[in-house]
């Protein structure tokens, strides 16, 4: 059984855990976009649409990263908070952590793609 969050110290621990969890979610989505980008095959001919497909999947997974982070944070921590004052404070951190996870996802993916050779699937994403 999970314990309720009723003290400021417990809330602070939940906030720290939220940021760490969302960073892990962001990194997991980086791995996922790398896999998806490599699964999408090059298409023969002059009108190759595979880079556009990779970009679309980058954005789809970015949105999924945001909602996954928010869902995990809500079910793991928010449901355990009893005090209304703590709920409003935690909500700010929950949203900030989820956005930070998405920024981490985008930044790491962008850096990895820019370090690739020009004719690779990952380099074609950006």
> Quick one: tokens of 114?
């820019």
Quickly state the pLDDT bin for 122 (edges 50, 70, 90). Answer: confident
Evaluate if residue 1 carries a pLDDT over 60.
no
Quickly state the pLDDT bin for 32 (edges 50, 70, 90). Answer: very high
Tens of pLDDT, residue by residue over 74-99, are 999 999 998 889 999 999 999 999 99
d(CA 126, CA 116): 11
d(CA 65, CA 26): 6
First-to-final CA distance of the chain: 46
Quickly state the pLDDT bin for 118 (edges 50, 70, 90). Answer: confident
Indicate the pTM of the whole model.
Answer: 0.88
> Quick one: tokens of 93?
């951190």
């Amino acid at each position: 059984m999970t314990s309720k969050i009723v003290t400021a110290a417990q809330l602070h621990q939940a906030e720290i855990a939220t940021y760490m969890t969302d960073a892990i979610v962001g990194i997991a989505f980086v791995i996922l976009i790398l896999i998806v980008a490599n699964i999408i095959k090059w298409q023969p001919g002059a009108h190759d649409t595979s880079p556009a497909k990779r970009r679309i999947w980058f954005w789809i997974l970015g949105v999924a990263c945001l909602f996954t982070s928010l869902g995990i944070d809500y079910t793991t921590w928010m449901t355990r908070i009893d005090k209304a004052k703590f709920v409003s404070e935690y909500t700010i951190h929950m949203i900030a952590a989820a956005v930070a996870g998405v920024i981490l996802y985008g930044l790491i993916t962008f850096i990895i793609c820019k370090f690739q050779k020009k004719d690779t699937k990952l380099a074609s994403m950006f």
